[in-house]
Structure 1
Amino acid sequence: MESSETSVPKLEIATDPIPSSVQIKTETDRRKFLFNNQFMSDVIFLAGPDKQRIYGHKPILLSASDYFFQLFQNYTANELPVEDSDPNIFLELLRFLYYGKIELTAGNVREIYIESKKFSMEKILEAVENFLNQTIDSKNVLCKLMDNRFYEFKSIEQKCLRIICDDPFSYINQEDFTRLDRKSLGLIVTAKTICCSNDQLLGILDTWQKTNNEENVSDLRLDISSKSIVTWKKLLFFGAFSSNPISESLRFTVNKKFGVKITGIGLYYQPIDEIMKVHVFMTCHKTCVPIHVPIKIFVNQEYTF
């Protein structure tokens, strides 16, 4: 999980006027130089309990933020207290408003999220969501799902569930699984598409409750038992359309520790003759017994069998 105790590097606050020798060629250059600079500043933010001075420019801020647009209509003073905001975090928000850059790290992402919500900065919230999405992998997916109870980003929830539900038995013996909060557990065991049976889902629930015996999960048991939960995934294999001769064989392997139902194989091609025969051979890895399924494919038609 993200740690709020991770130290955040102190940001250097530059307040010197723009050097006269510097040539500013673009709008981005101008905004970079104006960022937290006394030059032409018409508002000073007093950030944190020490009231650290951070320089702003109303025209830039109100054009980039709904919050500041509303604020500056009624607030005419040159100094604006933001005592409950960390100066470093507040600077990161202003940096984004000035020229679209923000330094997101594991140590500051939660505070930036909180401040962005406070100041209604939707674009920064999108940047936080993208940053968190990029940090998810199969090793930390349980922690990321739990962390998302704080953020409640739908895309992160969906990504975590896809990874977990594709191979749930890789995760139930991990310590992080027993540390799952009840809501996260419920998302997993009631997922519409998960690669295990209902009985196996009840077993997963039992594993979690052994460590969390104070939790009542009777409603989750009822959901698992009564709802029609999809326990398989469609595997559709389509050959690409090509004028080149079709390969004599199309091979694929299903590598799962549990049963997978193959619901269809789609084929589309243009043969020379009006009618061609396609032979499908399916072999079970354990028994090596081939299953021969002959079918007919007609010209310019698509078939799923």
Structure 2
Amino acid sequence: MATKVSESEVQSGFVENWQKGKSVIESLRYSLEEKILCDVTFIVGENRKRIQAHRFMLSLRSCVFLAMLTGPLVEQDNIEIPDIDPDVFDQFLKFLYTDDVSIDGNNVIGLLYASKKYNIVGIEKKCLTYMESSLLSSDVCLVMEQAHLYNENNLMQTCLKYIWQNGDVVLKSDSFCDLCLDCFVKVIEADQLNASEESVFEAVIVWSEAECRRQGREITPENRRGVLGESVYEIRYSTLDPKYFDEKVSHTCMLTKDEQIKIMRSFLFRNKDISPFKSKHRVGKKETATSIQRFDNTDYKSMPPSVVNNEGIVFSLNTNAALRGFQVFGYLVQSFSVPMACKLTASMCETSTDQLVSGSSISKDILTRGVTVDVYFPSPIQLVQDKKYNLTVRIEISSEVRNVHTYVEYGYQQQTPLITLFTGKGGTSVVSHGSFTCSFYEYKQCSHLQVKMATKESESEVQSGFVNNWQNGKSVRESLRYSLEEKILCDVTFIVGENRKRIQAHRLILSLRSCVFMAMLTGPLAEQDDIEIPDIDSDGFDQLLRFLYTDVISIDGRNVISLLYASKKYDIVDIENKCLTYIESSMSPHEVCFVMEQAHL
């Protein structure tokens, strides 16, 4: 046994066969931690820590890294990354190599920033999930501020909803004073804020003093008023107790004498107009759900399935409200009466400015089973009285539906099916529920949506310079398999079998999985391109590579012997064990002599 091991070690040129028994993820993690075959160095953070990695792995996981590290404009070694903390970048790389990341309160914001910078959707989702599930009254304002900074509208809405529900406690937290003016206004202007107006006023005073200090101003009534600007009118002074107003509010001298008199009069004459100050009581948690049905009846029509269908509606409300979601009409495949898989994207903008409404952009897969499908926003969208909104929905029908294979008498025949499209019938322009009224108008496509549909490129794709962001959403194994199947960034070619099939692969992955391949493909004596492998069947070699990239392999009676030979030649213990297990479990009386001969060989 000792002689056999020694021969293998001498053949490979490595005494320590560290690859032995490791999965592809374990091999990648080990190569990152031990800096094996690294070919790029990053200078990270303020302390300029040197962190090594592999160009190939980073390019497989991020279209931004692919643009940075490959091609004619490739950045060379010692790439500066001053805006990310080294510990955060270490965790970031760990995810790119293993799909595993450790998120905590100290690194979540940095990881969110890195994920958006390098377009790593997997980390971004984990960070957002962590932040949403870890909200506390003491730090929700900090999370909201970061969501605002990184333009995470859904997280922003989640934070606002939490603040509205826990207003009295949040307004007294230290982190409330750290909000920027925009976020501060979003909190105190909300009718939904569940807090006493005394708490709102006191929080405004504390925030204004903190803002004066941030701006290097002396804390005076004039400077407090100056940093508050128009937001001072969001305090509902007329809902305060008159005694509190006289003893607390007047004492701050933040309001002018005329403003104080106007508000004092409102205590005597409750219906008196005190604009520009708001006078409406906050509603807190009180909500009434209302469903608006524009159409009286439903119709349907038959049509070939278009790749993309765009629909939209313009509407306004006669009061402030929160939009939870909407309904779209469904589809069915004719003659099958089966549900249809569709990709739905939606967004809403204000018609007067054409600006996107915060939190309204959604994208999800839906399955249409009947006449309508309910679609909900992650968080309710706050709508303003009498303002017109333009809701646009884009539905892409799955390619499987567009190419249905229907069974005929003598086999399968590809057909393009008709679909049933449900539509509304007998619509009205105004729908009322008691005092609540929703008005509908002629639809006009938003300009920002026209640009997006014309280009069919996301902002991240434009930024990275790649229209096809194939890395998006793929795991490590999925990215490796895709790179092998599509021959992306391959740097070695094998001439395999008697038919001399040309098979491309990547030196890094093969070297990290086999000490024999490492000896062959790296170092000063490395074999160059077009490496001859005449003694292994090409199908068997394809399966060998598939295992090295994904830990998945298909073994059957036709390839088991070839794979067993290849596993021994390249010292891949896991394939060898799988082959022996298959042979032992599949042995029959008429095969036993053949198997014994192969075992002897």
**TM-score range normalised by the length of the shorter chain:** 0.5 to 0.7
**Separation in structure 1 between the aligned mates of residue 168 and residue 143 of structure 2, nearest angstrom:** 18
Query: Do 1:49 and 1:83's aligned partners in 2 also have CA atoms closer than 8 Å?
Result: no
Give the superposition deviation at 1:73.
Answer: 1.6
The alpha-carbon distance between structure 1 residues 58 and 193, as it changes in their structure 2 partners (threshold 3 A), is same
**Separation in structure 2 between the aligned mates of residue 224 and residue 99 of structure 1, nearest angstrom:** 56
**Separation in structure 2 between the aligned mates of residue 26 and residue 47 of structure 1, nearest angstrom:** 29
SS at match of 1:55: strand
**Separation in structure 1 between the aligned mates of residue 180 and residue 276 of structure 2, nearest angstrom:** 18
**Separation in structure 2 between the aligned mates of residue 97 and residue 220 of structure 1, nearest angstrom:** 46
Query: Do 1:36 and 1:56's aligned partners in 2 also have CA atoms closer than 8 Å?
Result: no
Query: Do 1:168 and 1:195's aligned partners in 2 also have CA atoms closer than 8 Å?
Result: yes
**Separation in structure 1 between the aligned mates of residue 15 and residue 111 of structure 2, nearest angstrom:** 28
Structure 2 residue identity aligned to 1:73: G
**Separation in structure 1 between the aligned mates of residue 126 and residue 166 of structure 2, nearest angstrom:** 29
SS at match of 1:129: helix
Query: Do 2:29 and 2:97's aligned partners in 1 also have CA atoms closer than 8 Å?
Result: yes
The alpha-carbon distance between structure 1 residues 160 and 34, as it changes in their structure 2 partners (threshold 3 A), is same
Matched, 1:31 2:85: no
1:225 alignment partner, one of 261, 278, 301:
278
Of stretches 220-229 and 173-182 in structure 1, the one that deviates more from structure 2 is 220-229
The alpha-carbon distance between structure 1 residues 175 and 42, as it changes in their structure 2 partners (threshold 3 A), is closer
Query: Do 2:138 and 2:173's aligned partners in 1 also have CA atoms closer than 8 Å?
Result: no
Root-mean-square deviation (CA), in Å? 3.9
Give the superposition deviation at 1:119.
Answer: 3.2
Residue 125 of structure 1 corresponds to 124
Query: Do 2:41 and 2:53's aligned partners in 1 also have CA atoms closer than 8 Å?
Result: yes
**Separation in structure 1 between the aligned mates of residue 177 and residue 35 of structure 2, nearest angstrom:** 53
Query: Do 1:46 and 1:79's aligned partners in 2 also have CA atoms closer than 8 Å?
Result: no
Residue 89 of structure 1 corresponds to 88
Matched, 1:207 2:199: no
SS at match of 2:41: strand
**Separation in structure 2 between the aligned mates of residue 78 and residue 142 of structure 1, nearest angstrom:** 41
SS at match of 1:74: coil
SS at match of 2:28: helix
**Separation in structure 2 between the aligned mates of residue 115 and residue 18 of structure 1, nearest angstrom:** 39
- Pairwise mapping of residues 1-305 of structure 1 onto structure 2 (< 5 A)? 19-47=16-44, 52-71=49-68, 72-75=70-73, 79-82=77-80, 84=82, 85-174=84-173, 177=176, 180-191=179-190, 193-195=192-194, 201=197, 203-211=198-206, 212=208, 213-214=224-225, 215-216=228-229, 217-218=231-232, 220=234, 225=278, 232-234=286-288
Structure 2 residue identity aligned to 1:66: C
Note the alpha carbon deviations across 1:74-98, whole angstroms, 9 max, x for none. Answer: 3557624225254433222221111
**Separation in structure 2 between the aligned mates of residue 57 and residue 83 of structure 1, nearest angstrom:** 16
**Separation in structure 2 between the aligned mates of residue 175 and residue 47 of structure 1, nearest angstrom:** 31
Give the superposition deviation at 1:224.
Answer: 7.6
SS at match of 2:287: coil
Query: Do 2:67 and 2:74's aligned partners in 1 also have CA atoms closer than 8 Å?
Result: no
The alpha-carbon distance between structure 1 residues 33 and 137, as it changes in their structure 2 partners (threshold 3 A), is same
Note the alpha carbon deviations across 1:20-48, whole angstroms, 9 max, x for none. Answer: 14524432223222225443333333445
Give the superposition deviation at 1:205.
Answer: 4.3
Of stretches 85-94 and 219-228 in structure 1, the one that deviates more from structure 2 is 219-228
Give the superposition deviation at 1:126.
Answer: 2.6
Note the alpha carbon deviations across 1:83-121, whole angstroms, 9 max, x for none. Answer: 525443322222111111223332233333444444343
Give the superposition deviation at 1:64.
Answer: 0.5
Give the superposition deviation at 1:65.
Answer: 0.6
Percent sequence identity over aligned pairs: 17
**Separation in structure 1 between the aligned mates of residue 55 and residue 177 of structure 2, nearest angstrom:** 50
Structure 1 residue identity aligned to 2:52: Y
Of stretches 97-106 and 18-27 in structure 1, the one that deviates more from structure 2 is 18-27
The alpha-carbon distance between structure 1 residues 133 and 210, as it changes in their structure 2 partners (threshold 3 A), is same
**TM-score, with length taken from structure 1:** 0.55
The alpha-carbon distance between structure 1 residues 137 and 219, as it changes in their structure 2 partners (threshold 3 A), is same
Of stretches 172-181 and 39-48 in structure 1, the one that deviates more from structure 2 is 172-181
Structure scoring higher RCO (CA < 8 A, sep ≥ 6) equals: 2
SS at match of 2:51: strand
**Separation in structure 1 between the aligned mates of residue 15 and residue 109 of structure 2, nearest angstrom:** 33
Structure 2 residue identity aligned to 1:79: D
Structure 1 residue identity aligned to 2:31: L
The alpha-carbon distance between structure 1 residues 120 and 175, as it changes in their structure 2 partners (threshold 3 A), is closer
**Separation in structure 1 between the aligned mates of residue 113 and residue 15 of structure 2, nearest angstrom:** 32
**Separation in structure 2 between the aligned mates of residue 88 and residue 223 of structure 1, nearest angstrom:** 50
Query: Do 1:18 and 1:39's aligned partners in 2 also have CA atoms closer than 8 Å?
Result: no
Q: Greater CA radius of gyration, 1 or 2?
A: 2
Give the superposition deviation at 1:67.
Answer: 0.9
**TM-score, with length taken from structure 2:** 0.31
Q: Post-superposition, which runs of at least 4 consecutive aligned residues in structure 1 deviate over 6 A? A: 226-229
SS at match of 1:73: coil
